[in-house]
Structure 1
Amino acid sequence: MMKYSTYQSIFPMNLENLQETRKEGRARFMQIITNTLLLKLLIIVIVAWIAGAGVLTVFAAPSASKEEVTKLTVQPGDTLWEIAANHKPERMDTRVYIEGIVRINGLEDRGVQAGQVLKLPNF
């Protein structure tokens, strides 16, 4: 086996340039990593902000207070549709008003019984 070689590279070996290139490469790598982490952090903050705004919007929805409801006793033969049609605001869709009645009274089905007391929302 050969112990020594007479091989000489055709490229000049400049160690200073090599070290500078490595330092620049490390700096560029760190800059890329930092930028990537900052971008991910920014995306997380934006998603959290949007989600928080959505949650606040849901909880900030107006709810009917005690003074915003009218009580009505259901008469024999009354239907939810008739009650809604007679008590809803003029330009409101009857179906929307029925949903309001169902929501504030916690009705599971759409049927009403004579003598039942319903809260009617005032929009």
Structure 2
Amino acid sequence: MKLDYDLIREILLITEEYSDGKHHILDAFYQKRITPVPSNAAMRTNVEYLRMARYVQCKLTSAKVYRIIDLTPKGREYLDSIRDEKVWQKVKEKIRENAGTISMDIVKNLAVKIAEGFIFHS
């Protein structure tokens, strides 16, 4: 399954807003706040990637499923680069024009350049 950058962004935004840094957040909690509702497989794939990339802190449940507890500093930095909706829409436009799948580091760098353009060329 491919990464879903919109879903990743939503997961990070929701985690930032609702995390207490101690308790894990259930997939169903995210799914109630994301439209369209992601499948369980999409949630697992993208959460697992965020965990492996060290964007989120997770807890492994007894059901062998990772649940997010909080963002890591790396996750917060990535989120800050893509937080602004105008920047995010431009990033997605560039991704569609030039690639299909692209690394999150490139997404972040692209978002920073786009944001700099908005700030310094406005």
TM-score, normalised by the number of residues in structure 2: 0.29
Structure with a larger share of its residues in helix: 2
Name which one, 1 or 2, has greater alpha-carbon Rg.
1
TM-score, normalised by the number of residues in structure 1: 0.29
